[in-house]
Amino acid sequence: MKKMPCRRIPRVALLVETTRTYTRELLSGVRRYVAEHGPWSTFLELRALDSSPPEWLKHWDGDGLLTRTFTPEMSEIIRKTGLPAVELRATYHAGDRPFVGCDNVQIGRLVSEHFLERGYSHFAAYSLHTERFFIERVQSFVSETERRGGKCALLPEANPDSALDWERNQARLVAWIAQLPKPVGIFAASDQLGVRLLDACQRAGVAVPEEVAVVGAENEETLCSFATPRLSSVQFDGFSVGLAAAEMLDRLMRGETPKNGEVLIPAKGVVVRESSDEYVINDKLVARAARLIRENASTGLTVEMLCETLKASRSTLDRRMKAALNRSPKEEILRIRFRQVEGLLKETDLTVDAIAEQTGFTNAHYLQTVFKASRGQTPGQFRKANQPQKLASRKSG
């Protein structure tokens, strides 16, 4: 009986950082391709973006590489291997190998459309000029905004490496925000820049999103959720990038020449959080009311207290808020409280009693009743469906 011929398993190195949401999703896409079309023998280690390439790579006789290149030196090492390689980072050093990545032109358009749909007429962009993909995103945002009649202010940023630089740059950012016409929609070319913007707004006492709305890019969950308020961001499709890159490398390793040396994957859309979740409010009374509600809803704010602070009658405030927001003051207070309740249910293991106390509800029973009437499920059911696995397992353990 003849033995079945052994299929040679390709050996592939994945030089991809594992520190970010996008790149972990990218690796999931590669894994899916390998599961369906492999097997591959893969080298993968926990890496930062600026990790050095492994020393053995210079003399490795493997079959292929998937890489996010950080320096010209690393690019040269990869070139000298002579191996089939697919680049996954659009740096100035790429171009000598096939590329799969995000469609940065589409990303800029998405953010422009997001602000335009919400009624903004003033726009700005905050970016680094260190990377091709930052430049492409911002150029697209500006072009789309101007094509539709808007004008865009720009602030290129140096990358601060020290606490002194951080403070100096934040002061510069505060001054820039102060002179922008408002309300303004600002596109931050990355989530890290978006967090800096929100911090500068907080320092300057500028209301977000009533005066300044901010959208970042990449939807890095840790950064977006840590920001105050939470940062809206464009969600990349890392999974599809990884899937397409693995398919391209597979073809290269089989000796095929790709028909298209650059594959651009569109983003999934803008994940809307509190930094840009409102429409432009041109009525100054309503804009002030909305800010007061956002800042004080959890303290037990009532419509009567709001009217007294604004020196407006209840009928006037009710009429003007319904005209501007299609919501009454009472409905807006409840909406903000529910948003806070949902955040605490998803992100903490606080009891419903504690959450009720923190969000301005008179007691847990009342919170349970109005939450179920509004959301169609109890707070406990909402928590079970939406809480991250870590917290759920910690509670059960």
* pLDDT tens per residue, range 234-287: 999 999 999 999 999 999 999 998 888 899 999 999 999 999 988 888 888 998
pLDDT band at 223 (very low <50, low <70, confident <90, very high): very high
State the chain's mean pLDDT as an integer. 89
229 in the same domain as 110: yes
Mean pLDDT of 223-237: 94
Which of 154, 164, 78 shows the shortest CA–CA distance to 123? 154
What Cα–Cα distance (Å) separates residue 279 from each residue in 177, 276, 310, 348?
A: 19, 8, 21, 29
- Amino acid at residue number 341: V
217 in the same domain as 168: yes
| Amino acid 156: pLDDT | 73
Mean pLDDT of 28-53: 92
| Amino acid 41: pLDDT | 95
What Cα–Cα distance (Å) separates residue 115 from each residue in 16, 96, 184, 299?
A: 33, 37, 9, 31
317 in the same domain as 373: yes
- Residue 298's contacts (CB-CB under 8 Å, 6 or more residues apart) are 336, 337, 340, 358, 359, 360
| Amino acid 287: pLDDT | 87
| Amino acid 280: pLDDT | 86
Mean pLDDT of 64-75: 91
pLDDT band at 186 (very low <50, low <70, confident <90, very high): very high
| Amino acid 132: pLDDT | 87
What Cα–Cα distance (Å) separates residue 370 from each residue in 107, 329, 361, 363, 373?
A: 39, 17, 10, 11, 5
Structure-derived torsion over alpha carbons of residues 232, 233, 239, 242, reported in degrees to the nearest 10: -160
In a domain, 171, yes or no: yes
Q: Which residues of 186-217 are buried (b: 16+ CB within 10 A; e: fewer)?
A: bbbbbbbbbbbbbbbbeebebbbbbbbbbbbb
DSSP 193-239: HHHHHHHHHHHHT--TTTTEEEEEEE--HHHHHHSSSPPEEEEP-HH
Contact indicator for 298, 337 with CB cutoff of 8 Å: yes
Dump pLDDT digits (tens) for 81-127: 999 999 999 875 556 789 999 999 999 999 999 999 998 999 999 99
Dump pLDDT digits (tens) for 150-163: 999 998 766 555 55
229 in the same domain as 111: yes
Query: ∠294-298-301 over CA atoms, to 5°?
Result: 80
In a domain, 4, yes or no: no
204 in the same domain as 185: yes
In a domain, 394, yes or no: no
Helices within the chain (DSSP H only) = 21-37, 72-81, 104-117, 132-147, 163-179, 191-204, 221-226, 238-253, 284-296, 303-310, 314-325, 329-347, 352-358, 364-375, 379-386, 389-396
Contact indicator for 300, 255 with CB cutoff of 8 Å: no
| Amino acid 394: pLDDT | 45
In a domain, 1, yes or no: no
In a domain, 397, yes or no: no
CATH code at position 332:
1.10.10.60
In a domain, 130, yes or no: yes
196 in the same domain as 217: yes
**Residue 314 predicted with pLDDT over 70:** yes
pLDDT band at 396 (very low <50, low <70, confident <90, very high): very low
Burial class (CB in 10 A: 0-12, 13-18, 19+), 241: buried
Q: Which domain holds residue 73?
A: 11-101+238-266
| Amino acid 171: pLDDT | 92
61 in the same domain as 25: yes
| Amino acid 53: pLDDT | 87
Number of domains the chain is built from: 3
Mean pLDDT of 176-205: 95
In a domain, 78, yes or no: yes
Per the model's pLDDT, the better-predicted residue between 98 and 7 turns out to be: 98
- Residue 237's contacts (CB-CB under 8 Å, 6 or more residues apart) are 25, 102, 265, 266, 267, 268
Which of 98, 178, 114, 177 shows the shortest CA–CA distance to 150? 114
42 in the same domain as 133: no
pLDDT band at 395 (very low <50, low <70, confident <90, very high): very low
- Residue 231's contacts (CB-CB under 8 Å, 6 or more residues apart) are 191, 194, 195, 198, 214, 215, 216, 223, 224, 273, 275
pTM of the entire predicted model: 0.81
